[in-house]
Structure 1
């Protein structure tokens, strides 16, 4: 039996524990419902197909007196996840009941590094991709290693989606496959995913409100997005901010305490380095934890707020040069030329335009923050990962192109009309079509907006909107600039038709994007809606009732059918470099091979990405240099939403794409500029050779 609660079930805990954890009333109510659902769900275990498939495989044949490692391999189906040993605020850990030959003894499971998942304000420690839990089995010197019964385990675990949790289980017989190169490679990969245990004991100290840790860690180790997972339940507040300090070769961590008021003398845990599944295990005992040190901030937060605001402002200003925004801005500016010397009217229109732009940017930013607070893995331009949103933008671009080209006239069209109402709507329109991509100045600002408190984040979105609106705002308030505008005349009609060209190119780009997101049938349907909408407008103005009716029926048919035309899988674009698709496991494997790695994140809707690819990536010189140096090319395609890519971007302080990373054969990765020069990658490969 399943139960609905945003992917949560909760292990039995006392009311005092929940209250002491300082959860909000909403969170507490959700946990109680989840507990009730988990109890109801227990009897249904194994009565349905599992949403997380499992298998049990031994590394090699058993040898008396040695430790045999076995792998519990879990494969969550798309949209489902399993849990770490300590699931967090909610969830259930795995339970294992072994049946082993005499003299065999199973040890404690060894888990890979989990990642954080926040839903409804509840922090969970989960795995969404295939993962393996290693279990050491001690085989005594006198234990039977031949002609024994089949070792097995009765395993029980919790599988959750964003709507449903189901307790699942299976009886898994231990398999001893014939040892092959592929089997050894698989076990090497499983073992590499298990974080190593630090060979020194960490120190812990408890105050009234904080757990403080001193973890031995060389100062040279890079920590892009550190997080501590504690094995013991309720020792820490899972969702609270963790503060990290460097004190020489010690990493000092301060974490608000959880509901457990007892003071454990020892704890175990994991230190996660961030994206990529890398980390370390540690054991801590009561001892002396130093104070002070240099605080570690996320790289996106190391930049002063005033510089982030400046970056957002400049980034918004550059968005006016995009081919889908420039025509709108240009034609709107010409309305001021028609206004002549009406300075008051020019200021009113400038303020209304600015209000429209800033409202759109603030609304989009607020929506992104709300979705992220609810646990969704989204970043800047997340709306363009939705096929139906792209279809709506395509219809809008087709209609604006047709209007610019003179196929129909709408005197009330906001781009061409005067007055604060038209200016406000034009501002909204400009922001909607301009905000999908990030530019060089926007990257750090929007990356910080995902991590800063909401008021500061919204201030950055407001600065972005102000930058986008700034040219028209200056035209409205600086008479000298308005004086530079050409005088009204017949040329303006010609100019309007010329501006139909970049808008038409924008529409064609959106047709291509609709094809990339949803396939051929979807792109055709979205294009048909746009074209038929123009037919309806023209026929209405010509008072052709039959044509209007037929076109209306056709529009309704294509519009209603659009959600059903979206294809589930869309193949990534071809590349000269023949890149490996990005995943945390793939990056770990590539780095373990001891070769340089070039990792880039892109999306079909990102103009900056496509320019960089043509200028620096998709070049024969780059391919040849990579082949000679043995560089592994890896690509993260963010055209459609991919939570694993979103987590990596966030860990690097990036709100969106493009993001370029260079990993040398040994050492830490280097984040490259967002604008690549033609020879940059070839030079990096030559230096690595």
Structure 2
């Protein structure tokens, strides 16, 4: 029951987008937290310290995270660039609040908050010396439905001097210091069975909650039972397991008053003992040294030109067990739903024929199922590894990168055309390594190659559950990201694994017979249709000349395969008959597919008009600044879901009339070929796949629309704009 409830919680959370992590920081126009820098003095004395403040102001409905974000989140990270010899302490936070969404609890700042740090100026700096300070900040900001990593770089020019206070900065720092938790001594932490019992004297009345600075003491969502203990307070909290091998540090807060507490855990037998330096109490000086007395001993100095400074990974900080589980479940469900996408049906028909031929042989069915699953998962891992590696070296590409390459489209055109001719009976394939073998002779290698082909063509499709999972995968560490891609492949292969290993399903498979030859020829039709669609896509990417060249190469293969089939029926077939066509394909891939001058903009062609324009971030910013409602449509010629949405929802007469009446401008971003601006924009909004739709009402933040659109959704948005204007 607990596992079922947890799985349901994760699915509901995913459905509402909680924990969806964007790939890159939001642009200045989209930033949901504004950060600023203030100093108590801009002329610090040599050998003294200056307190600086980083003010964080979230938009209404958005929140930042405490130093320990809880089950999910990412705190503010600061990378300081200061002169040699200057040191800066770690950031100090005010007390957090608990946010619990669908059972995932986090420690957040749900309004404006200010962080403090201490900068130590060395004695060696003479008065009048310039003291430039720059800090690169990164943080995660979330609403109840979306999380976005953001960044900002703040700078100020100080000068070593008299230490005179800066009026505005000193007020900000003083207010922030008053909001910081006050050190409190005498706290104890006792392990009593499966619970921690925290006690502290000398605190004001109120409903307190304990926030640990480290993970693993107790779950963020754990129930905390509070009771008064004389002039103090006692909290009983279920333990999370083995305690960290360090002293407990945290914040005790009732929402108004907050205290910085520290204690070393003791066993229940010592619960009644007076705290001491040996039994668990940590001195005021020790707490103060952490809170405000001295900066971190780590010096911030310029790195040598030949070295790079290894900063903490943003993704590593953001990873939590809950977020990873959400990504894995989303990938599994997304892969399962890929089997329903129209772009993968022709390939699945090959596997259906293969499984049907296995008949009632359980062993053959298991071999087919495992081989197919291995091919799908291996291809998913390969595509995921390529994507992660290419992005790591600076390439702006997304999940569907393979279909943005004309060379890849040409290879797929030749492969699907050859499979279609094979299914039509033009020739037979005795070699088990070829992709189509799984459709007619079975075996592990044949099934593996069929699965690999299915995954390669199907993966560009993006359906429900996939957007969040893929967005999260690219900010996870590489091993965990690859686990998400593997889960995507497993989801796609799951129906065939069920057929292979569930006897009741196997018994329902039809018996082999003469009908299979007829079915095989019928299945050549969707394969021919797939080849035709790939030829059209090649033409959209490279123009008429490129499409003609692709069809010429396919024709060479068709003639070679026809010749091979004739020799095969005479008993003298040989693969050398395919050599001329293979050499032609290799030559085209080596030289590159030429683009006709008129095809330079073919893939990005948009029917321009007063209310229909090509997407650019600059144009989007202009329209939003003018108060114009905007519908953003990211599409591609290889995205069948996108094309279906255009046909049934976007380009309908009713939708266009409603948009025209409300003055809605449609910005179309065509991702058929690689476009770094579109890739970066998608990443800014937690996506690396399409379809992706947004609607900007005047003066409001973007609303992400469903991946499967209906005219009613779009017309309703236009009507809302019209009603607001009237």
> Which of the five TM-score ranges fits, normalised by the shorter chain?
0.5 to 0.7
Greater shift in the superposed pair: 320-329 or 625-634: 320-329
SS at match of 1:679: helix
Q: Is the 2:76–2:137 Cα contact (8 Å) retained in structure 1?
A: yes
In structure 1, the partner of 2:685 is 652
In structure 2, the partner of 1:488 is 512
From 250, 265, 272, the counterpart of 2:112:
250
Greater shift in the superposed pair: 313-322 or 247-256: 247-256
Q: Does 1:640 align with 2:640?
A: no
In structure 2, what is the Cα distance between the partners aligned to 1:372 and 1:247?
32
In structure 2, the partner of 1:617 is 650
In structure 2, what is the Cα distance between the partners aligned to 1:614 and 1:394?
25
Q: Is the 1:275–1:647 Cα contact (8 Å) retained in structure 2?
A: no
In structure 2, the partner of 1:415 is 439
Q: Does 1:662 align with 2:695?
A: yes
In structure 1, the partner of 2:354 is 335
Equivalences for residues 448-459 of structure 1 within 5 A = 448-459=472-483
In structure 1, what is the Cα distance between the partners aligned to 2:117 and 2:549?
53
From 332, 336, 345, the counterpart of 1:326:
345
The alpha-carbon distance between structure 1 residues 234 and 345, as it changes in their structure 2 partners (threshold 3 A), is farther
Q: Does 1:569 align with 2:600?
A: yes
Deviation, structure 1 residue 556: 3.5
From 468, 475, 495, the counterpart of 1:471:
495
In structure 1, the partner of 2:619 is 586
Q: Deviations over 1:512-569 (max 9, x none)?
A: 1101111111111112212211211221332499999998546634652451413582
From 517, 523, 529, the counterpart of 2:553:
529
Q: Deviations over 1:359-406 (max 9, x none)?
A: 110111111111111121111111111111111111111111111222
The alpha-carbon distance between structure 1 residues 488 and 332, as it changes in their structure 2 partners (threshold 3 A), is same
In structure 1, what is the Cα distance between the partners aligned to 2:417 and 2:39?
63
In structure 1, the partner of 2:424 is 405
Q: Is the 1:662–1:672 Cα contact (8 Å) retained in structure 2?
A: yes
The alpha-carbon distance between structure 1 residues 415 and 226, as it changes in their structure 2 partners (threshold 3 A), is farther
The alpha-carbon distance between structure 1 residues 386 and 656, as it changes in their structure 2 partners (threshold 3 A), is same
The alpha-carbon distance between structure 1 residues 254 and 605, as it changes in their structure 2 partners (threshold 3 A), is farther
Deviation, structure 1 residue 443: 1.4
In structure 2, the partner of 1:679 is 712
Structure 1, unmatched stretches of 5+, are 1-115, 119-124, 128-190, 205-210
In structure 2, the partner of 1:602 is 635
Q: Does 1:220 align with 2:253?
A: no
In structure 2, the partner of 1:379 is 398
In structure 1, what is the Cα distance between the partners aligned to 2:29 and 2:454?
49
The alpha-carbon distance between structure 1 residues 229 and 649, as it changes in their structure 2 partners (threshold 3 A), is farther
Deviation, structure 1 residue 585: 1.4
Q: Does 1:394 align with 2:398?
A: no
In structure 2, the partner of 1:12 is none
- Alpha-carbon RMSD across the aligned residues, in angstroms, is 4.9
In structure 2, the partner of 1:181 is none
TM-score normalized with structure 2 length: 0.59
SS at match of 1:406: coil
From 444, 450, 469, the counterpart of 2:468:
444
In structure 2, what is the Cα distance between the partners aligned to 1:394 and 1:519?
16
Q: Is the 2:353–2:520 Cα contact (8 Å) retained in structure 1?
A: no
From 358, 361, 379, the counterpart of 2:377:
358
Deviation, structure 1 residue 635: 1.5
Deviation, structure 1 residue 458: 1.3
Q: Is the 1:384–1:605 Cα contact (8 Å) retained in structure 2?
A: yes
In structure 2, what is the Cα distance between the partners aligned to 1:547 and 1:336?
29
Computing the radius of gyration from Cα coordinates, the structure with the larger value is 2
The alpha-carbon distance between structure 1 residues 331 and 688, as it changes in their structure 2 partners (threshold 3 A), is same
SS at match of 1:499: helix
